C-alpha cells in the first residue's frame, strides 16, 4: 500500500484497478446469517451514526426499533409511530429513509386493487410522525414496496406496480421526485418478470421489493425480489444501469441472468450457489449509512444485509418468515445479458454476492 501511495499517473491507476479486481474476487467470509427475533417480512434498516434503525408493519400500523447492531434489532422494543386510524387497510413494507434533517417512512396501505403508496415524516426516527400523505404517483395504479433514493444529485422513487387495473404481473417502475413527497413527470417501467427464471411461480408473475445501491464504479443497481413470496422459489436478482445510462430508459438497464440470492438451484445465475440454511430469501434491506446509496461499500469488504426468509427445515409459509442478518459484497467482471432479446449484447460490470 505504501508503494501505491507513492505512485502517480497511469501506472498507479493500473495497479489500483488490478487490486480492486483481486479484492472483488476475494470477499471475506462473513459470519453465518443470524435469525433475528423479528417474526415478520419486508425489513427496512438504516444506520445513523452508531445506531441501527428499522421499520416494520405492526399492529395495523408501523413500528420503529433502534439498536446498536443489526443483530440486536430483534431484541429491541418496537415503538409504534403510526396507526391506521382511517381504516386504509393492509399496511405493507414500510421503508425508512433520511432526507435532509427528516426521516421519511414510505409504505403501502389498502385492500385488493386499492393498494397505494403513502408517506409519513418526522424530525426523529421513533416518534413525532404526522398524518399520512398519499404519494401522487403518475397514472395512479396499484403500487407497493416503494422507496426513495438519490442518484447523481436527483431524487428518484422506485416501486412495484401494475400496468393497468388488473393483477397480471408486477413490474418495477421509477419516477423522478422534486422533493421527498413530490413525484414529477411520468412513470417508467424498468423491469418486467419476463425471464424464465422469474416465471417459475406465477399468478401473478412478480418483480417487487426494489432497493437501490451504487457500485464501486458509481453505477446504479436496483436489487429486487422475483417469483411469489408464497413460494420457496422467492429470490433476489439485480438490475444494473449501464454506464452513463438514463434511469428512465428500460433498455439502459441490464438484468442478472438468474437469481443472485435464492434457495432453488435451477433459478440461480451461473456461478452463484443456492442457500444452505434458509429458504426463499428476499425483500431485503441494504444497511447503509443514513440509507444513502452514496455510502455503498467499496470493492472487497463485506457489508451488512437484512432479509426475509424461512429457516430451512421449517414448512415454507408467510407465517414462518423471519428477518435474518447476512452480508453482501461486490463481485467484479460480471456479465449480464438480455435473454429475451435476440441478438442483444451483454454488459459487464460489478455484480453482487450475498451471504447467509
Give pLDDT tens digits for 315-333: 999 999 999 999 999 999 9
Mean pLDDT rounded to a whole number for the chain: 91
CA–CA separation, 300 and 302 (whole Å): 7
What CATH number was assigned to the domain covering residues 2-355? Answer: 2.115.10.20
**Percent share of the chain, pLDDT over 90:** 86
CA–CA separation, 300 and 20 (whole Å): 7
pLDDT-based confidence at 99, cuts 50/70/90?
A: very high
Query: How many Cβ atoms sit within 10 Å of the Cβ of residue 198?
Result: 26
Helix or strand (DSSP H, E) at 208: strand 205-214
Q: For 17-56, how does the pLDDT look when each residue is reduced to its tens digit (9 = 90+)?
A: 344 444 445 576 655 669 999 999 999 999 999 999 999 9
Within 8 A by CB and 6+ apart from 295, the residues are 288, 289
Mean pLDDT along residues 79-108: 97
pLDDT of residue 337: 87
User: Closest Cα partner for 146 from 105, 87, 182, 192?
Assistant: 105
Assess whether pLDDT exceeds 60 at residue 219. Answer: yes
H-assigned helices in the chain: 2-6, 10-24
Instruction: Determine contact, residues 141/160, Cβ cutoff 8 Å.
Output: no
CA–CA separation, 63 and 78 (whole Å): 6
Assess whether pLDDT exceeds 70 at residue 79. Answer: yes
Question: What are the contacts of 338-344 at 24+ separation with CB within 8 A?
Answer: 338/254, 338/255, 339/195, 339/196, 339/257, 340/194, 340/195
User: Closest Cα partner for 290 from 137, 74, 97?
Assistant: 97
Coil, helix or strand for 93? strand
Assess whether pLDDT exceeds 50 at residue 1. Answer: no
Amino acid at each position: 500500500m505504501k508503494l501505491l501511495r507513492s505512485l502517480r499517473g497511469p501506472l498507479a491507476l493500473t495497479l489500483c484497478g488490478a487490486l480492486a479486481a483481486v479484492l472483488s474476487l476475494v470477499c471475506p467470509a462473513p459470519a453465518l446469517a443470524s435469525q433475528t427475533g423479528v417474526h415478520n417480512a419486508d425489513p427496512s434498516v438504516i444506520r445513523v451514526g452508531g445506531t441501527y434503525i428499522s421499520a416494520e408493519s405492526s399492529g395495523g400500523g408501523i413500528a420503529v426499533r433502534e439498536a446498536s447492531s443489526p443483530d440486536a434489532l430483534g431484541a429491541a422494543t418496537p415503538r409504534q409511530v403510526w396507526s391506521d386510524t382511517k381504516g386504509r387497510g393492509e399496511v405493507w413494507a414500510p421503508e425508512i429513509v433520511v432526507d435532509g434533517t427528516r426521516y421519511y417512512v414510505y409504505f403501502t396501505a389498502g385492500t385488493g386493487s386499492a393498494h397505494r403508496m403513502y408517506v409519513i415524516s418526522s424530525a426523529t426516527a421513533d416518534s413525532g410522525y404526522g398524518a399520512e400523505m398519499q404519494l401522487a404517483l403518475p397514472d395512479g395504479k396499484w403500487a407497493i414496496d416503494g422507496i426513495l433514493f438519490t442518484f447523481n444529485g436527483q431524487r428518484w422513487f422506485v416501486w412495484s406496480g401494475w400496468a393497468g387495473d388488473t393483477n397480471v404481473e408486477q413490474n418495477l417502475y421509477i419516477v423522478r421526485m422534486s422533493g421527498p413527497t413530490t413525484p414529477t413527470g411520468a412513470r417508467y417501467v424498468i423491469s418486467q418478470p419476463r425471464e424464465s427464471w422469474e416465471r417459475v411461480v406465477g399468478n401473478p408473475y412478480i418483480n417487487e421489493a426494489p432497493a437501490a445501491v451504487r457500485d464501486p464504479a458509481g453505477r446504479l443497481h436496483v436489487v429486487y425480489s422475483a417469483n411469489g413470496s408464497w413460494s420457496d422459489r422467492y429470490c433476489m436478482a439485480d438490475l444494473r444501469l449501464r454506464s452513463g445510462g438514463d434511469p428512465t430508459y428500460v433498455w439502459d438497464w441490464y438484468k442478472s441472468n438468474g437469481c443472485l440470492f435464492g434457495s432453488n438451484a435451477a433459478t440461480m445465475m451461473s456461478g452463484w450457489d443456492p442457500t444452505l440454511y434458509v429458504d426463499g430469501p428476499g425483500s431485503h434491506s441494504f444497511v447503509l449509512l443514513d440509507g444513502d446509496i452514496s455510502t455503498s461499500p467499496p470493492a472487497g469488504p463485506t457489508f451488512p444485509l437484512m432479509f426475509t426468509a424461512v429457516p430451512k427445515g421449517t414448512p415454507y409459509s408467510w407465517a414462518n418468515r423471519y428477518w435474518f442478518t447476512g452480508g453482501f459484497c461486490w463481485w467484479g467482471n460480471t456479465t449480464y445479458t438480455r435473454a429475451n432479446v435476440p441478438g442483444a449484447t451483454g454488459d459487464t460490470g460489478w455484480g453482487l454476492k450475498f451471504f447467509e
